[in-house]
Amino acid sequence: MSINSIRLHWLDNLRWFTVLLVLVYHVFYFFNNKGVFGGVGGFVEDPKGQPQDVVMYILYPWFMMLLFLVAGISAKYALERQSHKEFIASRTRKLLVPATIGLFVFHWMTGYFSTHVAGNDVLLNVQQPVKFFIWAVSGTGPLWFVQDLWLFSLLLVLVRLIDRQDRCWQWCGKIRWWGVLLLGVLIFVGQQALIMHPRPETPDGLYNLYKPVTYFVPFLLGYFFFSHEKVQEEVAKMHLPMLGAAVLAGIALIATTWGENNTTPQYLSSILNNLYAWLMMLAMLGCFKVWFDKTNPFAAYMTRSSYGIYVVHYLVIASLGYMMKVYTHLPPFAIYAILLVAVLVLSPAIYELLHSIPFVRWCVLGEKKNR
């Protein structure tokens, strides 16, 4: 039976589990004390950081690249079933519509709180409807991932039009285990495309946020290499050594860089950061292939809903996180606990609400009709 004719439960589970990691990451990111863009500020002034910020150091190097790699695998399988025209149409509806029209229907609320995080007087002298437009654009938040993915999908179709016989994909399927390890060099090279010294008065910072070259690399690796069943089996055989090596690399990275802003181009382009990122990505692929190639009602629900949950989740963090930090005197532990529970519970609830409303579900979630 062809690998494209069956449901790969391990891949579905890896996707939604990584989305849950994004939700958890954003809770800790929102309260970081490194001045990372988009945060409301930490709870201590110590430049060495807050102990809870270790979550950022553990996750940030690899989890978004893993999502792009999984998206590349999924794109290959989708293109086995769809024509290029159908693929572009479905990706435009699912990705571009929520990341453009959805900004004005739903995400302007996230933008409202994001501008307050930046300072209460930022839009003091701006009149409506200009203020609303700024809120909508500022509400993009995590949808940069969706916008990148739409662009990558278009570029992938262009690549396939150049290589109409899929010869490159077929050649990539012949790679051996040692070649899989060496693909990490491409991850390192992709990180070097970041602008090391972004100029405040230019779009450099926006480029470093979207990281188009950095993230296009794992997307292509997913499509050309990791969509092959043989390559997946090679990674599965290495899952325990890769997991052990990733843990050791992660410990070394955190121990030697603790207190640094782990989102800077210099940090992200370092050899140790990329070694840890690649080992962790391989470990996650291999472990899910071996241990989680099964499903249950909860996993099936998350497979259907994780994209929508990702799309809407940041409103919970931006609104509730901002209000608790600014307007309450709750201890940090309570704020983290409340926000973690809220984002994991309210995000699916908001998704279900929007999903039930005709037209709104198309605008915000890219869905044509109810299930």
Q: What is the DSSP string of 196-211?
A: SS--TTSTHHHHHHH-
- Res 1 pLDDT > 70: no
CA distances (Å), origin 359, targets 74, 132, 304: 26, 21, 19
Contacts of 117-124 with CB under 8 Å at 24 or more apart are 117/38, 117/39, 117/40, 117/318, 117/322
270: nearest Cα among 196, 178, 205 = 196
Both tokens of 243, joined, read 């997991």
Q: Which residue has the tokens 């869905």?
A: 367
CA distances (Å), origin 140, targets 28, 111, 364: 19, 7, 12
If pLDDT is split at 50, 70 and 90, which confidence band does 255 have? very high
**Residue 65 to residue 281: CA distance in whole angstroms:** 8
**Residue 345 to residue 353: CA distance in whole angstroms:** 13
Residue-wise pLDDT for 291-337, tens only, equals: 999 999 999 999 999 999 999 999 999 999 999 998 999 999 999 99
Label residues 160-180 b or e (16+ Cβ within 10 Å = b).
Answer: beeeeeeeebeebeebeeeeb
Radius of gyration of the chain (CA): 21
Q: Dihedral of CA 64/65/70/76: which sign?
A: positive
What value, to the nearest 5°, has the Cα angle with vertex 289 and ends 288 and 293? 85
Which pLDDT belongs to residue 124?
Answer: 67
Both tokens of 288, joined, read 């899910």
Residue-wise pLDDT for 213-234, tens only, equals: 999 999 999 999 999 999 999 9
Both tokens of 297, joined, read 């009602």
Q: Which residue has the tokens 């060495």?
A: 48
The region of weakest confidence among 46-50, 100-104, 204-208, 327-331 is 46-50
20: nearest Cα among 284, 365, 202 = 284
**Residue 340 to residue 39: CA distance in whole angstroms:** 16
- Res 242 pLDDT > 70: yes
**Residue 230 to residue 175: CA distance in whole angstroms:** 9
**Residue 116 to residue 189: CA distance in whole angstroms:** 37
Residue-wise pLDDT for 62-117, tens only, equals: 999 999 999 999 999 999 999 999 999 999 999 999 999 999 999 999 999 888 77
